[in-house]
Structures are given as C-alpha cells and as structure tokens.
Chain A
Amino acid sequence: MLCFLFAGIAFAQEKTISGTVTDSKGIPLPGVNIIVKNTNTGTQTDFDGLYTIKANRGAVLQFSYLGFENQEVVVADSNTIDIQLNASESVLEEVVITGQGSGIAKRKLSTTVDVLTADEVDKLPSNQIDQLLQSTTPSAQIRLSSGQPGTASIVRTRGPISASTSATPVVIVDGIRVDNLNSNPQLGIGTGGANVSALADIPVESIEKIEYIKGGAATTLYGADAANGVIQIITKKGTKGKPTITFESRVGIINATEDFLKYERTAEALFEPGLSLEYKLGLNGGNEKVTYNFSGSIYSDDSFNQLNEQVRRNLSFGLGAQVTDKLKYQGSFSYVGFEYNLDYNANTSFSRFSAFEGGGRGNLDELSDAQWQSELDRSNRIGETVDITSTVNRFTNSNKFTYEFSDSFDANLTVGIDSRDVVQQNYQTNAFQIAIGAINPGTTDQANLSRTLRKAFTLTSDLNFTYNASLENFDFVTIVGGQFFRTTDRQYFVNGSGGVDGTTDMGFYPTVTSDDFVLENANYGLYFLENIGIYDVAFLEFGGRLDQNTSAGKNSDPLLLPKVGITYNISDHDFYYDSGIREVVSSIKLRANYGEATNFAQPFSQDRTFNLNPYLGLPSFIFNNPGNDDLRSEIVKSTEFGVELGFFNNRLNFSGTRYQAITEDALFTPGAPPSSGQFNQVQNIGEIENKGWEFAFNADIIRTQDHNLSINASYNTNDNIVNSTGGAPAFNVGGFTVIGSWVEEGQSLGYLRGTAATPNGDGTYTFTPNTALGDTFAPNFGSFGLNYSYKNFNLFMTGDYQFGGKIVDLSFLLRHLRGVDNTGIPDDLVGTTNPFNYVNYFVFDNDFVKIRNIGASYSFGDKLAIFSDVTVGFTVTNPFNWTAGDFDPETTGSGIGAQNGFASGGFAYGTESAPRIYMTSLKFKF
C-alpha cells in the first residue's frame, strides 16, 4: 500500500525538463511547439533550439514543427530530453503531376507551380474554378467580366501571348482535358455582353488540390494549345479508414455591388437582394484495397437582381483500387448540371442596365418622380418578359491505370472523356418586343424563339513509362510517353419566327431557320523527359515533345518542342547545413529553364473554302476563307530564372522569377487589303514578347500553440510588346471602330487606339488620329491574403490588385454621346466636333485593389453529440473595392464575343459587377 502510495506520488511528481530540438543534421530549430499532451501546458524552443517545460513523469511531450514530422516522448527519469525532428516526407517530396507526364518531386523542378490545397478550397465560398483561383494564386490575373450567372473571367498569367486565342489556360481534371471555352460559342445566343463560359461549370467538387502552371517549359509536354498554361484539378479518391460522412449547408445573401453605378436609380429599377442555398453531402472511406469518395451538392440562388436565377447540381465520385500487387486503378466521375437565366447586357439597346447607365433613358437624376415612375414601369414590363436561359449538362470521366513492373519502373495509362452539352434559348415574345418598343402594340404574330445546342466532346489519352534509377550520386527519372486528344465542337442553331406568345415548341413557329457549326481537331504527340539528380541537390531536366495536329496547313511539319531546366537546392548541401548562414537563410533554391509551347489556329482556318449561303430560298456560292497551306501553330519560347529563399527556418519565404516569353510565328489575322475583296486570313507572321518579374512572399508571423498568423503577398510585372506584325498594317482585335483594341508593331498587344484631342491653350485643339491611348493589360498586379487561427477559430482574407493599365469607360462615352454627361470634358471642346475625335477623355486607369473574400470559421471538434466535428463559418465575398475610376474596370464582358477570341478586356461597359455575397455555412462530420 505504501509502495503504491510512493509510487503514486513519484508518478505524479512534476519536474522540469529541458533540452534542445534539432533537425536531422543537428541544426537547432527555433519556434518548435512543445506541449504536454492532453493538457494546456506548452512552450516553444528559443533561437538556439533550447526549451524548458514542467511535466510529470510519465507524461507525453509532443514536439511539432511545420515541415517536420511530429514526435512524442514519454517523460522518464532524465531531466534532459534532446530531440531530433525529421523533415516531413510530404514537404520534401511534394509531388507535382501537372506538366510532368508522371509525378515528380517539386524540389526537383525548375518550373514553378501554384498549388491550392483542399483546405484552402474548402474555405472559399465559390463554386467556380476562376473564382477559386482569383486572389489565391500569386501570379494569375483573374478578372470577373460580369456579375451575370454563367459568365467567367478573363484569365491571364504572363501577359497576352497570342492575338488569335483567348488567354484561357487548358483545364484538366484528373489528367483529362475538359471544355474550357471562355467565350460565347460561334452560334451562341447574343445577349449584348456578359458572354457565357465553360469555366463556370467545370467540376469543382471533392478537390484534393489544384495545380496551376503558367506556360513555358512547364507546359511543353502538353504541346498543342498549352502555351497559356494549364490548370489541373485533382479530385479526392478516398482515404483509408472508417467512413466519414459530411453534411454541409450554406445560406447566403446576395447583394448587388452598387459602388460603380452612375445613377442610384439604376439600382432601384433593377436590383433586389437574393438568397442562395447550398447543401453538400460527402462520403469518404476505404480499406487497404479500395478507397472511395462521393460528393453531391445542390445549389440555387435568385441573384442580386430581379431577373437572374441559377441552379447547380453536382455529383462526383472518386475511386482508388489496388487491383493486384502491381496494378493500381484510380477513377473519377463527375456530373455538373447548371441552369441559369440571363438578362440582356451591354451592347444592345434591349439591355435595361446599359440603357440606364449609358444615358439611353436620359439623365436619371434629373427625371421627375412621375417620369421616373414611368421608366420604372417600362423597365418592369421588359424585365418580366426577358427570357434567356441556359442549361448545361457536363460529364467528366477519368481512368488512370498504373502498372508497377518493378520499384523503379512503371507505366501509366490515362483515358477519359469530357462531354458538355449546352442549350441556350432566347424567347422574344410579342409582349417583350412591344415592351421594348420594337413592334407596334397589339402585334401578336412576331414572337421569335432562338435555340442553340452546343455539344463539346473531348477525348484524352496518355500513356507513359517512368523509370527511376540511381547511380552512386546520381538519380535518374526518365519518362517517355505519348498523348493524344481530340475535341469536337458541334453547334446547332434554330430560330423560329412569326409565332404567337405562349409556346417554346419550335414546330409551332411558321418560319424556321437553322444553322450549324463544326470544329474538330485531333492533336497527338510523343514526349520525353529526363530528370537527373546530382548529389540530390542539383537537378538537370531536359525533354521535349513532337507535336502535330489536324489544324495545321498541309505544308507544315510536326513541331519539335524542346525543354531544358536546371535546379540547384544549395541549402541541401552538407556544408550549408554546417554553416551558420542557415540560421538566417534556411533554404536557397536556384532554378532556370527554357521551354516551348504552342497555340494552334482554329480548326479549318488553314483551308481555302467557299460558302454556300441560302439566299431567297436558293443556294448561292461565294468565297469564304482564302486559305493558308503553310499555317502552323504559333510557338511560345520561354526562358525563366528563379530563386526561392527561406528565412528563419522557412518562416519567411520568398520566391522571385524573371521570365521572358517570345511568341514566334504568332498567329495574326491582319486586315486583307480591301482591294483583294477577300476575307482576312490567319497567318504566322507576328512576334510577341512578354517579359516580367514574379515575386511571391509569405510569412508565418505568429506561430504558437494557439495562435497562428500568416500573410502572403505577390507582385508581378508584365511588359508586353508586339515586336513584329510581319509587315502587316495595324489591325483591330476588339472594341469599337472609333476606339478599339489594336495590334501594331512596337505597341502592347490589344492596346487602345483612337483619335485624341490635345488642347493648344487658346481654346483650340489638335486632333491626332490613331493615338496610342494605353495598354489594356495592367503591367503590375498581384494578390495578398492573411490567415489567422486561434485554437479552433480561423479568420482569412484574400484580395488582389492591379495598376498601370488603361480602360475605356464606354458607358460614359455613351452618356456623353447622348448629351447627359460631360464630366471632365473641356467646355470649349463639347459640341465643336464629333466626340469620337476626343476619345482620350473616355480612357481611364484600370487600377484597383479589391478584397475578394473575408471569412471566419469555428470548429467545435467532437464536443457536439454524435458528430466528430461541427464547423460553422461565415464569409463575405467582394466586400471592398478601391478603383481609380468611377466604374468597375473588371466588367468587360462585352469584350469576349467571338468564339475563343482574343480578349483585351479594355472596355468596361453595360454589365453588372460581381455581387457582394454574405454566406454562412454549417458543416457536420460524422
């Protein structure tokens, strides 16, 4: 009994323990968290890795440090406990899949990749890929072009590299290319602006991580059209362990962003707060052989205005199976159903928003109450009859087979499809046409129904072999593979006219016309990649792709796209470990690479073709495309140099990259000489250069047991210039005739050009046609964010900014033309000449700083009843804006009208800004 008592006292006896925490090479680690397990007692190591803590004999000390594996030690007799922490494998060997053929450790790569993890994705309220990446990736410019549903952003990274395609990256889900058409389809329903996008319905359920590579050497292996970069979504395939079920509900209030309105009355007429509801159900689990992950969700909202509504339905399923010892299978399947309606926008007088804001209904501030009431009545009559709908059904399937011939040799086969159907419909009833004043009241036989079906189908297949070898101090990773993908884009358009109101049955329309459009392309290539590790500190990689596609002219040969890179992790040397520098500069990585990637021309644009137009019920021939047998892909040759630095045990991290990308044989479509009487032909005649710096910085400012605060910021520059147009005269690639986006030698791609007026000081003006009025691509941009947690509470913020570019405020131009707004225009100029002779007064800086998300969440852990975790969250999206002008420089929806066309984003006009959303979420896990 006594013994027991003594033993008990001894056992419970508190003592002071001290020691040093070092890494595997004996370097002291400052800031390591040490807690006595299952208590509130804790401390941290000092700058020399020393610590002191009080604990009872038998207690368990837990040592944790970011980037290292946790260790637990039982307190025994000794009062000194020295600990060596091992670097975490997951950090050391963080694997990058995208652009490598097979997974390769990030530290071996000379190229950069931005990664968004599952946790980061889960925190964000959005369910659109572009909005997830906005302000969370350090070096992408993602600009929301409209607040209308189904629309998406202009996405750019290292500047505009092509005049003939949009800057949208290739999007890949589990190795499978998916439709990424970020513009209205060729036969799409025109709403004036607010062009819809396939990016709006890319499956974003169950994301394990998103990798974003920015072109250049990183995309060489993708060849084809990957010069704009690649976004890969990797979905969850389940984790071993007991099944977990999660249920999450989100409720949001959607308010219009009214900051940029010219007239408050516009908001009164059109806006009204809406409600969003979302329910998500997840199931995850598995055993040694099979893992699975299921997620399903439904979402609906009725938007920030009177008209828009949207419904999304998602199902996704991921499976991992160890079929045999050697064969592993990973599959994923996702379905996205997306229905929404649109309002008329921007470049049509059917648009109430652009009519109000563009002065089309006069100066709203000056209307009497009675006049305004009459406007409101008219607006409501129109609003009730606008009927533009869109329904998307998308299925994506990926299948990946890995066969391990041996520990060092395996084969990967990926096969999958993406199938996306969109039906767009615009129903213009007699009532609608009467409401807008297009037809006489009383008309009953002029209803018009347009319907477009677009079927986009993509098949992707990739087979590669990976061989790992070691030879004393050299490691080799060899990847050889082949890839093909083919895309088919079929569009059918049918229009019924002369109908009565009340039916959307096309058969009921007396006059029906139809049209179709086909684009088909097959792209195939062989690739090879060798990564040689030298003493496990330096890595040399080289490889290339032999690329061919069916969109090339018959005289063009397959393209060989080489890449080469070198990476040097100086801080991995033993001598570096032994030196004192490491205590301050904890890691140094240098990297350099060169690589080529391409964009191919629109399929069939190489052919000389003729049109057979139906005309008055008979066929009629005429010339169409002039043809170009020498047409080939444009090649983007990128060189980059970079450094990654970590300070104070990587609590401060800095990354800097210098890049230069030259687009050779750039696909330009200059204006044919009018005397030819022929259409313009795309040709490989241009050269475009982009160069700039990318800096990213993050810091763990506070890292204690309870408090963690980290911040991140990035700053990027882009200097874009058209080196050559191959002798072709300047040509217009967007905007309007009097003030457009142009391509001209010596200027930035898509720069703004128009007639400028400069005062002579005596009341007269000098008018200079074709004046350069600024670059549409902001040459300076970046993002910033912070993340703070206190125990189970988390707070985060993300934002982005840009400056240095220019944009046209087209709504102002229209207001001025209509005589209701002369703000900032000299009195002695107004009325003396056509406003199109002084368009410089409508061009403004496109600078902005925007806070995109602020969110907070609290996790209750397992304290609540049957649940293993309950999390409540609150986010607000788009809460704060600061802009240089009085308008939103992002609302450029009207600029991406042509299928996959170039988007300069230089014209803000007539569409609503992305709304302000307040959302609460409640997540149960059990």
Chain B
Amino acid sequence: MKKISIYIMAIGLLFGCTDDLKNATDFTSVENPNLSESSIVGQPNSSLIWLAGLEREMALTLNEILILSELGSDNYVNTQTFFSQFLDNLEIRIDDPDMRDTQFRIARIRVAAQFGLNQVGPGDSEYTSATEAEYNFFEGMSYLYAGMYFSALPQEELGVPVSSADNLASAIASFETAIALNPQPEYWLALARANYYLGNQTEAVTAAQNAIALDNDFLRSAQYDQLNGPVNLFENALYQRGTFDDLQPLPTLDFLDPKYSFLTPDRDQSVHYLKAEEAYLILAESNLANSNLLAAQNNLQDLLSLIDTREVRNIDDSIEQRPDPSSVFDDRPSSPSVVVNGRAGLVLDRQSGNIDVPTVSGTSLTSADVTAMTLGDAALELLYRTRQEVFIAEGLRFADMGVKLVIHENEILQNPNVSEGDLGTVAVIPSFIDAVKNDLDAINFVPGSNTATTVINLTEILVANKNSDQVLPFH
C-alpha cells in the first residue's frame, strides 16, 4: 500500500510538473477539419472564390433543371432511368422530390449571390465591380429560372410566393444592376430573355440588340469538372452507358444527339445557358410578329452564319444505340435512310464510324429554307422548330411550352404564406399541351422500315395556339 502511494505521488508529480504532458492527457480535444465563416468573410480574395462557388452552383442547378425540362418537353423520352419518374408524361406533383431539388437549387443561387453581395464582397479588400456585377447577374438568374419554370416561388426563406411575372421583373432589376456595374453581352441577353417571357417585345429586342452589339458570338457556359465534380448529369443521361440512364431523342432531333459526350478525364462538356443565337431568334421572332419578313430572314441568316462557326465534335457514338441494348424497349429509328415526318437526313448511323454532333448549336434549318420563308404560321413553325433544335438539352423548349412546375410540399408544409391550392402549388399546363401530354414523345415506327412519324407535331400545336397568353409571347 505504501509503495502504491509512492507510485501515485510520483505519477501525480510527473503530470503536474510537465506542461508537455498536457496535450497527452487532454482527451477532449478533437480535430475539426471544417471551414467556418471567419475563414471566408473578411478574407482577401474571398469574393472571387465565392464567385467560383456560384459558378459551380449554376452547374448544379442546370443539372436539376435540364433533366426535368428536357424530359417534360418533347425533346427526350425516358427509356431506362431513375431520373425523374414523372415528368415524361408531364405529371407535375407537389410530392415529387425533383420539384424540391429544383426549387432548392434555384434558391441556393439566390442566397449564395446575396451572401456574396452582403457579406463576402464588402469584407474583401480585393472586391471589384466586375465581381459585384456577377453576383447581381447570378441573383438575377435565380429569379429568371424561378419565373421561367415556376408559376410562383418565394424570393426569401419561407417568404410569400412571388408570381412568375414578378420573379421575371426581379430578374430584370438584377440584370440592370449588373449591366450598370459592368456590361456584358450575357447580362443583356438574360435581360432580353426575361423580357421575352414577359412579352415585353420592345425591351426584349433592345436588350438582344445590345447583347450582340457587345459580342455577336458570345457564350456563357456552366462548366463541369469531370475530376472533382460536378459532372454534367445530362451527359450521363445522353451518352454515358452502362448505367441506368438512357434518354432517347425524338427522331426529328436524332442528328443533334448527344449534344454532350465524354470530353477529357478533367472536363465534362459545358452547358451554354446564354448564347448569342438566342438574341437572333428573339429578333427574328419580333420581326415576324411585326410582319417584317425581310428583317426576320436577315436575323435567321445571321443565326445560320453563327451556327456555322460553332463547334462540331466528331465522336465515336457506337455504344449508343436506339434504344440502348440494355433496355427492353422498342426499336427506334437508327438509320439515315429513315425519313421522319417526311424529312430525310435527320437520323444518324452511329454504328459505321464516327458521327458529327454540334456541341453548341445545330439546326436542320437551311439558308434556302430562310430564303423561301413567307409570312404566316409556317414561318413561325420554322422559327420554333429552330428554337427547339438550337436549344436542345438546354431547357428552353419546356419554358416555350408554357408549362410551369409546382412548389414542393416541403415548402407548402413549412411556409405559412403558402397553402395547397395557392398559386404556385398547382401545375400550369396549357390545355392544348395537356391534351397531348401522353403523346409528346410518341412515335410511329415499324422496326426495319424507312419511315417514322411523331404522333404529334408539338411545334405546330404551339404555333396554332400562338394567341394564348402562355406561349409565343410576342403573339
């Protein structure tokens, strides 16, 4: 016992006298590898790093939006995928997690842009007006997407849902602030688009002209990082094989697929969410609405010239088949000999060597088509077909259809300002779209034959309903 006491005393003395042992005996300290706010706010150069975060968020947001909007349109059909279980048949419901995720991503761009404007930027000694303009631009993009895809969405956490028109108006205000700080063509185009969907023809035209005046072939792109993510999810759906995912394009759009394909181990293909082509198409549509055929033809010829300069990739797409061999769905046209809706040359042979696919913009519109144009619905159909082709896999066809998504039930249940049945919680589908929603992707094709037809021609339907408030905003 005595010996033990001596030992205990000795150990006690050792601990007490040696500061170095403090670390060895403090068992409650843990290493926390996470970043706190103080590592960001108030740090030099943090505003640029925050801006890179916004660019990355934009890429993630488009990953959400593109899957929904492209499946919801007539562009693509889901043959084997767990990407969106409902949108193919325009089943838009408040319990669909894709509604939640899309709304979340749009909101995240907004809060991140606002945090940049209010906290990160002002705290950074290296903050520039160009960065501030970008923050405003991204805030505007959040409102723009809210307005394009939702009939109403709150602009703050648990806030009152703001109508599509008011969200577009907020987008306009943000873009104008951005332009005032550092005018860029894509800011002008974003402004043009917001005005376009609002039906503000004059403002849309002015902004579109300002955009191409600054740069007549600009591209604003969401970039994807194959190495560290995010990867382009839509590329997975279109091109990558050996997964569950397989989206097949409408046969009339076969020659434009896959817009996104494997690039390098470092980079995945970009989504060009604002590009000069849109300005020409807005101008052409405005001119057609004003019965100014010649001007519209000039706009479209300019468009074709621009498209001619855009990148076309020559890729081996032999692993992609119609349909994918791992699925058990019906055969789809896969030979150039197949004439679709009476038009030849729309389907590529992917099994005999490489194919050429436009990665920015492609179209079946020809200069001769433009020259032959006459005023009337046929010209509008041509224009809307071209919009569909140029913007395939970029999410605009869905917005052009006038369809609007709904606020997710997670918001409805927590937000005192919104209840089920309110504006924003009920899907908006124009009646003429609703009538054909099960046939959006349907085709008539006998395997082995040389003709195929789409069951409906959605472009024709849109133009036939041009006087509706929900589509063709300049009419």
Contacts and interface: CB of A to CB of B under 8 A. Distances in A.
Interface of A: 348-350, 355, 359-362, 403, 405, 433, 436-440, 446, 459, 484, 486, 497-498, 510-511, 513, 516, 518, 520-522, 524, 550, 603-604, 607-616, 618-625, 671-678, 728-732, 736-738, 769-770, 818-820, 834, 836
A518 B31 CA distance: 8
B158 A522 contact: no
A619 B28 contact: no
B87 to A, nearest CB: 10
Interface in B1-37: 1, 4, 27-37
Contacts of B85: 737-738, 834, 836
Contacts of B104: 672, 674, 677
Nearest to B267: A616
B57 interface: yes
Given A624-B34, A674-B411, A729-B414, A619 B52 contact: yes
Contacts of B80: 818
Contacts of A359: 328
B109 interface: yes
Contact of B27 (A349, A437, A484, A614): A484
A674 B408 contact: yes
A622 B103 CA distance: 17
B98 A510 contact: no
B421 interface: no
8 contacts: A520-B30, A524-B27, A603-B30, A618-B52, A621-B53, A622-B112, A675-B154, A676-B158
Contact of B37 (A550, A604, A610): A610
Contacts of A521: 30
A39 to B, nearest CB: 55
A737 B86 CA distance: 11
Given A614-B228, A621-B40, A675-B103, A522 B27 contact: yes
A518 B29 CA distance: 14
Given A484-B27, A522-B29, A673-B158, 5 more contacts: A349-B326, A350-B242, A497-B265, A612-B35, A836-B85
Given A619-B49, A675-B158, A437 B241 contact: yes
Interface residues of B, number: 81
A834 B49 contact: no
Given A437-B325, A486-B27, A623-B112, A498 B36 contact: no
Contacts of B30: 486, 520-522, 550, 603
Interface in B132-190: 153-154, 156-159
A583 to B, nearest CB: 52
A625 B37 CA distance: 11
A319 B409 CA distance: 61
Contacts of A623: 108, 111-112, 115
Contacts of B242: 349-350, 433, 436-439
Interface of B: 1, 4, 27-37, 39-40, 46, 49-50, 52-53, 55-57, 80, 82, 85-86, 89, 91, 93, 95-98, 100-101, 103-104, 107-112, 115, 120, 153-154, 156-159, 223, 225, 227-229, 240-244, 265-267, 316, 318-319, 325-329, 407-411, 413-415
Contacts of B37: 608, 610
A173 B426 CA distance: 58
Given A433-B242, A510-B265, A836-B85, A674 B107 contact: yes
A266 B455 CA distance: 39
B40 A677 contact: no
B330 to A, nearest CB: 10
A620 B225 CA distance: 12
Interface centre among A348, A484, A521, A619 (most CB of B within 10 A): A619
A559 to B, nearest CB: 15
A608 B228 CA distance: 23
A884 to B, nearest CB: 27
A675 B35 contact: no
A873 B315 CA distance: 63
Contacts of A616: 52, 223, 225, 267
Contacts of B244: 348-349
Contacts of B408: 674
A675 B156 contact: yes
Contact of A818 (B32, B316, B319, B328): B328
B326 A729 contact: no
A376 to B, nearest CB: 16
Contacts of B57: 622
A513 B154 contact: no
B31 to A, nearest CB: 5
A524 B408 CA distance: 43
Contacts of A625: 34
B40 A610 contact: yes
A493 to B, nearest CB: 12
B139 to A, nearest CB: 12
A671 B100 contact: yes
Nearest to B158: A673
Contacts of A436: 242
A686 to B, nearest CB: 15
A498 B226 CA distance: 12
A440 B109 contact: no
A440 B29 contact: no
A819 B328 contact: yes
Contact of A520 (B31, B35, B156, B223): B31
A440 to B, nearest CB: 5
A834 B50 contact: no
A511 B266 contact: yes
A674 B325 contact: no
Nearest to A522: B28
Contacts of A770: 95
A761 B198 CA distance: 47
A549 to B, nearest CB: 9
A437 B157 contact: no
Given A607-B34, A608-B37, A613 B56 contact: yes
A348 B82 CA distance: 11
Given A610-B39, A612-B35, A620 B93 contact: no
A827 to B, nearest CB: 19
A834 B103 contact: no
A379 to B, nearest CB: 13
Interface centre among A436, A518, A608, A616 (most CB of B within 10 A): A616
A433 B240 CA distance: 11
Given A513-B228, A621-B49, A671-B100, A610 B35 contact: yes
Nearest to B38: A610
Contacts of B35: 609-612, 621, 624
Contacts of B240: 438
A637 to B, nearest CB: 26
A524 B57 CA distance: 41
Contacts of A522: 27-30
A769 B95 contact: yes
Contact of A608 (B36, B157, B241): B36
Contacts of A405: 1
A613 B243 CA distance: 26
Nearest to A443: B316
B34 A674 contact: no
A511 B411 CA distance: 42
A737 B98 contact: yes
Given A440-B316, A607-B36, A620 B52 contact: yes
Given A438-B241, A674-B103, A737-B96, A615 B56 contact: yes
A448 to B, nearest CB: 9
A674 B405 CA distance: 14
Interface centre among A359, A362, A610, A730 (most CB of B within 10 A): A610
A728 B36 contact: no
A677 B107 CA distance: 5
Contacts of A349: 242-244, 326
A520 B31 CA distance: 7
Contacts of A611: 35, 53
Nearest to A359: B328
Nearest to A382: B242
